[in-house]
Chains A and B, each alone.
Chain A
Amino acid sequence: MWARAARRVLRAPGGGGRGFASKAGGGGVSAGGEAAPQERGRVPGDVIEHLERLALVDFGSREAVARLEKAVAFADRLRAVDTDGVQPMESVLEDRCLYLRPDNVVEGNCAEELLQNAHRVMEEYFVAPPGNITLPKLDEQELFSKS
């Protein structure tokens, strides 16, 4: 489980100035995570809590956090690469042409087929559980135990 957590975390603070992590307007993990790693790569407690809520993982033990810090340090080695003046490659498709489709109606009308796959339907609607259940407050987390 810690490995999964580490993978998720890699995407967030490790990116430095590039990538999505630092974009304020677009959500994503805030700059707090980025500024956090101090000289010895310690991740502060509030960042851990934050990550736990975002990724719905539980770091549980001090060892797990240590693993996290090692994973971040490992990813930080990327910064050793000098990419000054190099345009980032966002997509291997960057040289391809984006095909433009004419605005005609050519599909749809297959409600029956689509609903066949659904576990539950009601009169041609898909049935889903009720809307998101919000997480409890941070101080109530003990009560919200491992369920």
Chain B
Amino acid sequence: MAAPVLRWSCPARRWILANIDRGPRHGRGSPTGSRSSGKRGQSSVAQQPLATAQKPRKGEHQWAAVVGLEIHAQISSNSKLFSGSQVHFAAPPNSLVSFFDASLPGTLPVLNRRCVEAAVMTGLALNCHINKKSLFDRKHYFYADLPAGYQITQQRLPIAVKGSLAYSVFVGKNRNQVINKTVRIKQIQLEQDSGKSLHDDLRSQTLIDLNRAGVGLLEVVLEPDMSCGEEAATAVRELQLILQALGTSQANMADYEIQRQIEELENGGEILNETRSFDCKLGCTVPMRDKEGKQDYRFIPEPNLPPLLLYDSASLPAGADPQQVINIDQLREQLPELPRVTREKLVQQYGMLPEHSFTLLNEVGLLEFFQNVMKETRAEPKRVTSWVLNTFLGFLKQQNLAVSESPVTPSALAELLNLLDQKTISSAAAKKVFEELWRSGGKTPAQIVSEKRLELMQDQEALEELCQATMEKHPQVVMDLKKGNPRAINKLIGLVRKATLNRADPTVIKEMLERQLSS
């Protein structure tokens, strides 16, 4: 993303120590900040401390104990989970709120079909067992942005359980050794989001905007299989890519946000086990941690919602209204290609290294850019990969731009690579052309090449003459060369290149010189 907008402005400490289940809502009071334009979903990471047998040993980078993660991803849908008001990130306060969202008496929840489909698709993509019957519950706690005083969630019997998420970490000196890891998914459940509170400390009040209240969330609970912050960050990143590929959530929490929160978790790792024995030492601005039993959520079945029943092709009741039934098998068939498969295809089709396939998918729009260049160029995939991942991406990162903001189009890069492939220009010249393309935008590579006279010399005879002439002008260097000085040849090549105004390929020059010298 171009502008590094901080979306969660609450101090990370508070976040770690905030409740597993986002209970003491004070922790989530001031955050949220602004959302980037055009994106609807978000994900947040709350950490679930688990009592484990081992404590993290101080001074070690790896956690001896492990931590489970809970990830809340906002579902990409037009309307909310239980009401027909709109889901949209930017709107005047309280304008996207229905009577149900404001929990006015007499209103009832009506389940949104799209949200159920999103949950099932996500469960399928994560290899979960889909519960054909799942139940909704009420989780009670008091906070101003939760007007009903409870959140409808799926505590007892969620929609999907027991899945797995595969991710890869890169280790080794050059980070090119791939280790494939898996983290188990405990469950995926549907639940409501709360509204937004803005704390006005000056006037000692809180301003409540319920636009977000009732939006559908997917809560993905990961088992404590990860042993360090980097693994956790990588796993979350992979989940993000999967959700984006499925279209179930925009999941656009920025990379650095994930990294930051994971780092805080690492830093707070020691605090976790130590503060268990403390009571409310944390002062009045920081919520209490939810030690077991400290918060009584008074779970009850949601009385207004019958069990949610899902079907597969075998159990689908005959003559059922297709709008009213959800067929798991049908959704499975409609699953789009997952990132893992896309990467495998890239490696097979283009022979690229696995870590390159990861980089291509990690950057928004980069894969498409790469594929567009491949379509229009005759150059080898390896060369295209190298240019896209090194040169192009390098320029983007330097100026903190997204792929969509790039001044160089895929066609332009394709044309440039064609010129290089045909040996019309040298590599060094190509880099210069690229720089110029980046700066000026409008011109084509061919134009730049001719303007700056960067074409390689095509006239072999002229080049031969230049080589001769250079050697005659610099007899000392030639003598050094004949004596066996290894650096002399490079000096000679350099001199010839200068004479050609850098329009000759060094390798060609070298060949020519060596030939002339030996004759």
- Spell out A's residues near B (CB within 8 Å): 11-12, 20, 23-30, 32-33, 50, 54-55, 90-91, 93-111, 114-115, 117, 122-138
Could you tell me the distance between the alpha carbons of A44 and B324 in the complex, rounded to whole angstroms?
A: 52
Is there an interface contact between A134 and B280, defined as CB atoms closer than 8 Å? yes
Given contacts A100-B111, A114-B102, A126-B94, contact A107 B208 (CB under 8 A): no
Is there an interface contact between B284 and A134, defined as CB atoms closer than 8 Å? yes
Is there an interface contact between B155 and A26, defined as CB atoms closer than 8 Å? yes
27 A-B contact pairs sorted by A residue (CB < 8 Å): A20-B299, A24-B292, A27-B23, A27-B295, A28-B299, A29-B293, A54-B296, A90-B156, A97-B324, A99-B324, A100-B112, A102-B113, A102-B114, A103-B113, A105-B86, A107-B98, A108-B84, A111-B93, A114-B102, A124-B94, A125-B209, A126-B144, A129-B144, A131-B25, A132-B24, A132-B25, A132-B26
Is there an interface contact between B306 and A104, defined as CB atoms closer than 8 Å? no
Is there an interface contact between B208 and A126, defined as CB atoms closer than 8 Å? yes
Residues of B within 8 A of A115 (CB): 94
A104 to chain B, nearest CB (A): 6
Is there an interface contact between A27 and B98, defined as CB atoms closer than 8 Å? no
Main secondary structure of the interface of B (DSSP, over half): loop
Partner of B204, one of A97, A108, A130: A130
Name the CB-closest residue of B to A26. Answer: B155
Could you tell me the distance between the alpha carbons of A30 and B292 in the complex, rounded to whole angstroms?
A: 6
Is there an interface contact between A137 and B280, defined as CB atoms closer than 8 Å? yes
Given contacts A27-B23, A27-B290, A111-B93, contact A103 B77 (CB under 8 A): yes
- Spell out B's residues near A (CB within 8 Å): 20-21, 23-26, 29, 77-79, 83-86, 92-99, 102, 104, 110-116, 135, 139, 142-144, 155-156, 197-199, 201, 204-210, 279-281, 284, 287-288, 290, 292-293, 295-301, 303, 305-309, 323-324, 326
Is there an interface contact between B77 and A100, defined as CB atoms closer than 8 Å? no
Given contacts A103-B77, A125-B93, contact A98 B305 (CB under 8 A): yes
Is there an interface contact between B94 and A125, defined as CB atoms closer than 8 Å? yes
Is there an interface contact between A127 and B308, defined as CB atoms closer than 8 Å? no
Name the CB-closest residue of A to B216. Answer: A103
Is there an interface contact between A108 and B207, defined as CB atoms closer than 8 Å? no
Partner of B113, one of A95, A101, A131: A101
Given contacts A11-B298, A26-B155, contact A128 B280 (CB under 8 A): no
Is there an interface contact between B306 and A128, defined as CB atoms closer than 8 Å? no
Could you tell me the distance between the alpha carbons of A5 and B305 in the complex, rounded to whole angstroms?
A: 29
Could you tell me the distance between the alpha carbons of A14 and B424 in the complex, rounded to whole angstroms?
A: 85
Is there an interface contact between B307 and A91, defined as CB atoms closer than 8 Å? yes
Partner of B84, one of A26, A50, A105: A105
Is there an interface contact between A91 and B301, defined as CB atoms closer than 8 Å? yes
Could you tell me the distance between the alpha carbons of A140 and B292 in the complex, rounded to whole angstroms?
A: 22
Name the CB-closest residue of B to A98. Answer: B306
A85 to chain B, nearest CB (A): 19
